[in-house]
Amino acid sequence: MPIRHLPELLINQIAAGEVIERPAAAIKELVENSIDAGSSRIDVLIREGGASAMTVTDDGIGMNAEELAMAVDRHATSKLPDNDLVHIASLGFRGEALPSIGAVSRMTITSRARDGAEDAFSITVDAGKKSRPVPAALASGTKVEVRDLFYATPARLKFLKSPRTETQNVREVIERLAMAYPDVHFKLTADDKILLDLPSASLHERLRQIMGREFAENAVEINAERDGKKLTGYAAIPTLNRGTNQYQYFFVNGRPVKDRLVIGAVRGAYMDFLAHDRHPMLCLFLSVPGEEVDVNVHPAKAEVRFQDSALVRGMIVGGLKHALASAGHRASTTVADQTLQSFQSPAAPAWNGEYRQHQPAYKHLKGMAGAPYAGTYYTQEMPGLDAAPGARAHDVDIAPIQDVSEDYPLGAACTQVHETYIVAQTRDGLVLVDQHAAHERLVYEHMKKALANGGIARQPLLLPEIVELDEAAAERLLARKNELEELGLVIDSFGPGAIAVQEVPALLGHSNLQQTVRDLADDIASFGQTMALKEKLEEICSTMACHGSVRAGRRLNADEMNALLRQMEQTPHSGQCNHGRPTYVELKLHDIEKLFGRR
């Protein structure tokens, strides 16, 4: 077979195979062109998912007749003025999109150059056959109409999904670009239905438009800068999480990208707060100097390469962690929403305007006050705040605070229910704290900090506590003696199969030491030989805190409860337990009023 140069049309069709994978990809290229043209308003219309027709109209700088004719030629671009692939300031640069789309469809571009007195012109490309520009009517900007996408490449046509799916793809493409360009007004109409109408807005408002109210209310702002690189955006606090990472948006120099490095960095930043199968919602913008990133690695420009990926990763992890720490004890508002919904379950219907005096729906509270609700009101005296029998203040290594009348975010403790939950009154509502989950988190954060600052404070036992184990378990513990010491637990061998505990972490107290040590031995067995205990700190803390002083089922007195609340307020990440579940729920007075139909 003789070797030959392929005809232009075939080249463009081959390029279209890469660049224009599906209607949404064509939309992405056209909308990016409109953004590059400095538009403030971009209107997108599609029919049947874009397959039968799509129109992108903008109010950008436009093109004159000569430019129009060139725009549809292969490798013709206005965006690399100095032939410089390093400092790319635009979304486009390959000069491939228009000729590729034109090669596989019927495309008409109408445009009017902003500078210059000329009229508008239009040009048509039908399956690669280009017409001459002819005068046309258009007030300003550019309008690109594409009909019968892929009609010239029937093989590709077969791979299109249902119009619904393709419409959804188009929507996602526009949403992504709209996040990166909040000051541009975007509109998407599909088969005469308006799917998106996003007026120019601040970034926060734009994210609310797209990612929802929940996200906007429960996200912290990210703002990090290092060596000319900048990371900005918003990230959800951990209690607002999802079962997929599909709500994680990432942009490099204004370009939406999907990047494994970033997904890994986000996972690393949230590792301490979320279970493995949960993912935070977030939207991050990284801007890096042109010479440190290569955007020219993918025909559809969906991937980038960083010169120093470790640095970028570090910056993302650091920026996220810093911002999350600033969220302090905040737990997401959705927690309260969910609580309200469960109160308003069928067992306790929401107020519907009627007074249901004779049908109290308290079934789900059965046993809560010590006896089932029996049709008549009764009151049971709550234990006095200072007289909680069995409370041992000295077990809790947290300083009691006497005056709780101040305006604390988590309020003043009123009582404890079921020896598990603390009820506190705040200025404008009430807070319910899961004392065990909260304490576990406090212990973990405390230990992390202590470790970073050179060690965990230990408390010597007056008499060593002897724990009998089997020999293998005792050996496993002794093999980790030095590591355990760093974590505050000092042990020695006490004959075969026994351990003498000499010192314990000061913040844990020493109740139930026997069980703690046994569980630690089990933990260590499950970590394997090589895993450093520090890497498993979260589990170790859970184990220690689990048998430590403030666990579920332990009576607390008022001072202890208030001390716990104050500590939560001061400890980063205390709004969620080590698995991303909330440690407390807040109900505002107006929420409570809603429950009782007062609002």
* CB of 143 closer than 8 Å to CB of 109: yes
> Closest distance between ligand ADP and the C-beta of residue 406, in Å?
59
By CB under 6 A, how many residues form the interface with ligand ADP? Answer: 22
* Helices vs. strands in the chain: H and E counts, helices first: 18, 25
The listed partner (Mg ion, ligand ADP, none) that binds 142, CB under 5 to 8 Å by sort, is ligand ADP
Burial letters for 288-323: b for 16+ Cβ neighbours within 10 Å, e otherwise?
beeebbebeeebebebbebeeeeebbebbbebbbeb
Task: Check binding of 102 to Mg ion (CB under 5 A).
Answer: no
Q: Which of 16, 22, 26, 29 binds ligand ADP (CB under 6 A)?
A: 29
Q: Which CB, 58 or 434, lies closer to ligand ADP?
A: 58
**Rounded (10°) CA dihedral 16, 21, 22, 28:** -80
- Other Cβ atoms within 10 Å of 455 Cβ, number: 12
> Closest distance between ligand ADP and the C-beta of residue 89, in Å?
12
Round to whole Å and give the CA distance between 437 and 329: 13
Distance (Å) of CA 306 to CA 288, 291, 295, 362, 543: 9, 9, 9, 59, 40
Q: Which CB, 92 or 256, lies closer to Mg ion?
A: 92
Three-state SS at 272? coil
Round to whole Å and give the CA distance between 139 and 120: 8
* CB of 336 closer than 8 Å to CB of 588: yes
Pick from 75, 410, 42: which is nearest to 197 by CA?
A: 42
Stretch of residues binding ligand ADP (CB under 6 A), selected from 29-37, 220-228, 283-291, 462-470:
29-37
Task: Check binding of 34 to ligand ADP (CB under 6 A).
Answer: yes
> Closest distance between ligand ADP and the C-beta of residue 44, in Å?
12
Q: Which of 20, 93, 182, 211 binds ligand ADP (CB under 6 A)?
A: 93
Q: Which CB, 103 or 422, lies closer to ligand ADP?
A: 103
Half-sphere exposure of 44 (CA within 13 A, CB side): 33
Task: Check binding of 37 to ligand ADP (CB under 6 A).
Answer: yes
Q: Which of 9, 21, 45, 78 binds ligand ADP (CB under 6 A)?
A: 78
Residues 12-51, mask of contacts with Mg ion (x by CB under 5 A): ---------------------x------------------
Measured at the CA of 409, the angle between CA 407 and CA 410, to 5 degrees, comes to 110
By CB under 5 A, how many residues form the interface with Mg ion? Answer: 3
> Closest distance between ligand ADP and the C-beta of residue 322, in Å?
37
Which residues is 293 bridged to in the sheet?
306
Task: Check binding of 60 to ligand ADP (CB under 6 A).
Answer: yes
- Structure tokens that stand for 372 in this block: 């089932």
* Pairing mode, strands 53-58 and 279-280: unpaired
Q: Which CB, 280 or 299, lies closer to ligand ADP?
A: 299
The listed partner (Mg ion, ligand ADP, none) that binds 79, CB under 5 to 8 Å by sort, is ligand ADP
The listed partner (Mg ion, ligand ADP, none) that binds 587, CB under 5 to 8 Å by sort, is none
Find where tokens 């000499």 sit: 502
**Residue 55: what are its φ and ψ, rounded to 5°?**
-135, 130
Stretch of residues binding Mg ion (CB under 5 A), selected from 96-104, 119-127, 196-204, 445-453:
96-104
> Closest distance between Mg ion and the C-beta of residue 488, in Å?
60
The listed partner (Mg ion, ligand ADP, none) that binds 539, CB under 5 to 8 Å by sort, is none
* CB of 173 closer than 8 Å to CB of 193: no
Task: Check binding of 207 to ligand ADP (CB under 6 A).
Answer: no
DSSP per-residue string spanning 191-234: TTEEEEEE-S--HHHHHHHHH-HHHHHTEEEEEEEETTEEEEEE
Round to whole Å and give the CA distance between 545 and 344: 34
Q: Which CB, 50 or 548, lies closer to ligand ADP?
A: 50
* CB of 572 closer than 8 Å to CB of 442: no
6 DSSP 8-state letter: P
* CB of 234 closer than 8 Å to CB of 204: yes
Q: Which of 92, 163, 319, 509 binds Mg ion (CB under 5 A)?
A: 92
* Chain residue at closest Cβ approach to ligand ADP: 92
Round to whole Å and give the CA distance between 107 and 20: 14
> Closest distance between ligand ADP and the C-beta of residue 185, in Å?
15
The listed partner (Mg ion, ligand ADP, none) that binds 544, CB under 5 to 8 Å by sort, is none
Round to whole Å and give the CA distance between 596 and 7: 76
* CB of 525 closer than 8 Å to CB of 420: no
Task: Check binding of 42 to ligand ADP (CB under 6 A).
Answer: no
Stretch of residues binding ligand ADP (CB under 6 A), selected from 59-67, 167-175, 347-355, 583-591:
59-67
> Closest distance between ligand ADP and the C-beta of residue 312, in Å?
25
Q: Which CB, 97 or 410, lies closer to ligand ADP?
A: 97
Task: Check binding of 182 to ligand ADP (CB under 6 A).
Answer: no
* CB of 287 closer than 8 Å to CB of 339: no
Q: Which of 20, 24, 71, 437 binds ligand ADP (CB under 6 A)?
A: 71
Round to whole Å and give the CA distance between 23 and 169: 8
Q: What is the largest CA-CA distance in the chain?
A: 99
Q: Which of 63, 236, 257, 473 binds ligand ADP (CB under 6 A)?
A: 63
The listed partner (Mg ion, ligand ADP, none) that binds 34, CB under 5 to 8 Å by sort, is ligand ADP
> Closest distance between ligand ADP and the C-beta of residue 172, in Å?
20
Q: Which CB, 16 or 315, lies closer to Mg ion?
A: 16
Residues that bind ligand ADP (CB under 6 A): 29, 33-34, 37, 58, 60-63, 71, 76-79, 92-98, 142
Residues that bind Mg ion (CB under 5 A): 33, 92, 97
